[in-house]
A and B are shown apart, each in its own frame.
Chain A
Amino acid sequence: MNNSVRNTARLLTAGLRALLVLTVVCGVIYPLVVTGVAQAAFPGTANGSELTSHGKVVGSSLLGQRYDKGKDKQGNPIPDLHWFQPRPSAGLGSNRTAKPPVNPQYDLQVSGASNLGAGNTDLLKSVKDAKQWVATTYGVPESQVPADAVTSSGSGLDPDISPEYAQIQVNRVAKENNLPADKVEQLVKDHTQGRQLGFMGDPRVNVLELNVALRDLVQKQG
């Protein structure tokens, strides 16, 4: 009996010692080595791909932002149509009981998705509402509204929109900024990224980079 207790204790100690020494290797040395190499060789990406404009950081080019002008009476943000709009986030699920709710409005510290099912009637309603809003706001038929304009992303921080969604925003954005539409259209073309190596992922437009370029254009005109 005594013997077996002693053996068990010895075994558990061995388990703990193994864990501690492997923690030093995998939990201390490994992340520090990777961080060292990363900070030396790729400081820009390792620190969040920050985008600067006129000497000021305007965000991370990998993370989406909102472009609003204040809030309405219900507390919902009003999109500022001077700028290209990202994928919707108003339709994001509240994930009712999660505190705080999962990503209400491109909040960098609450990433997450709506998690609503493909046949969920709430999701159906938010898709239909979004479609109607996009069609009326930008003066296009509903059939031209692309899917990314009416659905929320997986991270809730999607930095990109499809080239189609950017394209239908061109006229309105140009009008709001008193710019010729062809100049804004050219801007969208310049910021459209094709598939990587021609076949990976989908074509996209980075909204922050596009809006930064747009602001430069507006300032040059003004």
Chain B
Amino acid sequence: MSPVLAGVLQLIALIAALALAYRPLGDYMAAVYSSPKHLRIEKFIYRCIGANADTEMRWPAYLRGILAFSLAGVLFLYVIQRLQGHLPLSLGFASISPDQAFNTAASFVTNTNWQSYSGEQAMGHVVQTGGLAVQNFVSAATGMAVAVALVRGFARSRTGELGNFWADLVRSTIRILVPLAVLAAIVLVACGAIQNFSGIHGVGQFFGGSQQTNGGAVASQEAIKELGTNGGGYFNANSAHPFENPNAFTNLFEIFLILVIPFALTRTFGKLVGNVKQGYAILAAMVTIWLGFTVLMMWSEFAHGGSALQAAGAAMEGKETRFGIGSSAIFSVATTLTSTGAVDSFHSSFTAFGGGIQLLSMMLGEIAPGGVGSGIYGMLVMAVIAVFIAGLMVGRTPEYLGKKISTREIKLAACYILITPALVLLFTAVSMVLPDALGSMLNTKAQGAAPHGFSEILYAYTSGANNNGSAFAGLNANTPWYNITIGLATLLGRFLPMVFVLALAGSLAEQKPIPETAGTLRTEKPLFAGLLVGTILIITGLTYFPALALGPLAEGLS
């Protein structure tokens, strides 16, 4: 069997697995968010928080809950990293410096998981398992809560109430993420991922003697890192490390974990707005982009452009033998089109066009299918824009799901889509004139790789502001400049869009529904899915083309 055919078959197997999980998981999540009952453990948690989970919140209250919870998360992570040298179970690692601790705390609370540290060299059990892995759950749950609040904004009328943040947060964690993560972690261990608390210990070697190696709660972190589209690796090599991702089956399984919740949330959305076909249209737009990008990526990697890859005979630099090129390509698109950022192969050594596809995937705003929660709310904002554009073309007041899209809604949606490009382009531009920032590049002009060096910096801010977390990892990002600015980009790129989404949700929920007429744009039809894809590609293309032309396009065409 040729490697290309094997790659295509793996893609087909992945699609089949996702299709099987789509309805049951989507329906289950819809039931979780609409159930009036609390589990006993949830009641206990609400008592600990001191919150009444049955009070409805308007959007400012919902937002305040998110901000308070996230602020607590940032402070807690910052403090335990700064104190690591004094904590037990820290494997002898020192405390983390202030700028790196800020960067890591911001990065994990925002579901980004950008890492300017090297896992096996810096973080002990307390920080990894008791701090970082916890945010893998709760940052994902926060994203899901915001998504559900927006969906309620469409589904409800003549009320400003969007649900209860504490209830949505706790249910997402307890009823969805934890049970799935337990199952996934056990599958990973069964296939070879490690799960122990043996810390740093010697392991015998072929010629005798021994070498030091790290033990840890790796499988449990790996499972939620993929499932919650987080991406922060236990080890520096992330999912390329054999202890995180031991074989080709686990590789495909991890891709499945990355994609399963974001895709299934379109079903949840359809259920909650009372018309599953609306969810299918959103799903169709997501699948079109995801499949298109995956096919392009496989083509580019199998063609292995670039002088070094041509000399080698295949694009194997930075890729593992057990995965091969096909499934590494599938992984890299899945991780950049969601907010995951885990890597099973190193993006910096992909072909120039492959690197461009990874960049563009993040630049789309990570909505196909996107992060858990953040993918669907980002996609719904794009749907609002698409409806608006369609309305302009025929001269009708735009409406979506029975809600009028007026000036206020469009302003909020426009703010949403402007934030991340502004952060990415501004920070990249400033870094390009700072000598210190430029000094962090690995690939340089002297090595005939000037555009690649630029791409390293563009990638860093694209990844940070879009809450992805993957990297062109040659860039030495552990400097105060990058730690602080990328940390800020993750925070602003996460919470400002949430403000606009929740304000939008509140404003939609207050409206009274307008009846469908013959002139209403049918948003559950293929035509609308096509319009949505076109809108996304054109808006992103116009925004980022100059930056892409200086980086991957210049590199690929030279």
A118-B315, A201-B327 known; A21 and B48 CB under 8 Å? yes
A65 to B210, CA, bound (A): 11
Contact with B along A3-36 (1 / 0, CB 8 A): 0000000011111111111110111101101110
Contact with B along A127-156 (1 / 0, CB 8 A): 110010000000000000111101111111
* Least distance between B283 CB and chain A CB atoms (Å): 26
With both beta carbons as reference points, the residue of chain A lying nearest to B314 in the complex is identified as A147
Residues of A within 8 A of B10 (CB): 199-200
Identify A17's interface contact among B48, B129, B308, CB under 8 A. B48
| Stretch from B191-199, B373-381, B411-419 forming part of the interface with A | B191-199
Identify A118's interface contact among B69, B193, B306, B442, CB under 8 A. B306
Indicate if the CB atoms of A93 and B442 lie closer than 8 Å.
yes
Interchain Cβ contacts within 8 Å, total number: 396
Indicate if the CB atoms of B50 and A17 lie closer than 8 Å.
yes
Indicate if the CB atoms of B76 and A199 lie closer than 8 Å.
no
Interface assignment of A74: CB less than 8 Å from any CB of chain B: no
Indicate if the CB atoms of A200 and B169 lie closer than 8 Å.
no
Interface assignment of A221: CB less than 8 Å from any CB of chain B: no
Interface assignment of B391: CB less than 8 Å from any CB of chain A: no
Identify A34's interface contact among B182, B317, B447, CB under 8 A. B182
Indicate if the CB atoms of A154 and B186 lie closer than 8 Å.
no
Contact with B along A59-78 (1 / 0, CB 8 A): 11011010100000000000
A121 to B211, CA, bound (A): 33
Those of B30-78 within 8 Å (CB) of chain A: 45, 48-51, 64-65, 68-73, 76
A30-B178, A96-B442, A110-B120 known; A153 and B311 CB under 8 Å? no
Identify A11's interface contact among B64, B131, B200, CB under 8 A. B64
Interface assignment of A1: CB less than 8 Å from any CB of chain B: no
Interface assignment of B307: CB less than 8 Å from any CB of chain A: yes
Indicate if the CB atoms of B348 and A116 lie closer than 8 Å.
yes
A26 to B235, CA, bound (A): 20
Indicate if the CB atoms of B248 and A200 lie closer than 8 Å.
yes
A95 to B122, CA, bound (A): 17
Interface assignment of A202: CB less than 8 Å from any CB of chain B: yes
Those of B166-194 within 8 Å (CB) of chain A: 166, 169-170, 173-174, 178, 181-182, 185-186, 189-194
Range for the number of chain B residues in contact with chain A: 35 or more
A14-B51, A118-B351, A155-B241 known; A199 and B206 CB under 8 Å? no
With both beta carbons as reference points, the residue of chain B lying nearest to A68 in the complex is identified as B207
* Least distance between A135 CB and chain B CB atoms (Å): 12
Contact with A along B480-506 (1 / 0, CB 8 A): 000000000000000000000000000
Contact with B along A117-130 (1 / 0, CB 8 A): 11111111001100
A33 to B179, CA, bound (A): 11
A124-B308, A153-B321 known; A119 and B236 CB under 8 Å? no
A195 to B248, CA, bound (A): 8
Indicate if the CB atoms of A67 and B118 lie closer than 8 Å.
no
Residues of A within 8 A of B182 (CB): 30, 33-34
Residues of B within 8 A of A114 (CB): 317-318, 346, 349
Indicate if the CB atoms of B130 and A121 lie closer than 8 Å.
no
Interface centre among A15, A47, A59 (most CB of B within 10 A): A15
Interface assignment of A204: CB less than 8 Å from any CB of chain B: yes
Contact with A along B1-40 (1 / 0, CB 8 A): 1010010011001000000000000000000000000000
Interface centre among B121, B129, B349 (most CB of A within 10 A): B349
Those of A33-72 within 8 Å (CB) of chain B: 33-35, 37-39, 41-42, 45-50, 56-60, 62-63, 65, 67
A11-B68, A117-B449, A200-B6 known; A148 and B236 CB under 8 Å? no
Identify B68's interface contact among A14, A56, A63, A196, CB under 8 A. A14
With both beta carbons as reference points, the residue of chain B lying nearest to A152 in the complex is identified as B317
The 10 A-B residue pairs with the shortest CB-CB distance in the complex, in nearest-first order: A201-B248, A118-B306, A154-B240, A57-B204, A202-B324, A15-B68, A115-B474, A111-B237, A147-B314, A117-B452
Q: Could you name 24 residue pairs across A and B whose Cβ atoms are closer than 8 Å?
A: A12-B71, A14-B65, A15-B65, A15-B71, A20-B48, A26-B137, A27-B131, A27-B134, A34-B182, A35-B197, A47-B215, A59-B203, A59-B205, A97-B476, A111-B240, A114-B349, A115-B346, A116-B348, A117-B308, A119-B558, A121-B449, A151-B318, A154-B343, A195-B6
Q: Which residues on B are within 8 Å of A, measured CB to CB?
A: 1, 3, 6, 9-10, 13, 45, 48-51, 64-65, 68-73, 76, 118, 120-121, 129-131, 133-134, 136-138, 166, 169-170, 173-174, 178, 181-182, 185-186, 189-198, 200, 203-208, 211-215, 217, 219-221, 223-224, 235-237, 240-243, 246-249, 251-252, 304-309, 311-325, 327, 343-346, 348-352, 355, 440, 442-443, 447-449, 452, 455, 472-474, 476, 478, 555, 558
Q: Which residues on A are within 8 Å of B, measured CB to CB?
A: 11-23, 25-28, 30-31, 33-35, 37-39, 41-42, 45-50, 56-60, 62-63, 65, 67, 83, 87, 93, 95-98, 100, 102, 107-124, 127-128, 131, 145-148, 150-162, 195-202, 204, 208, 211-212
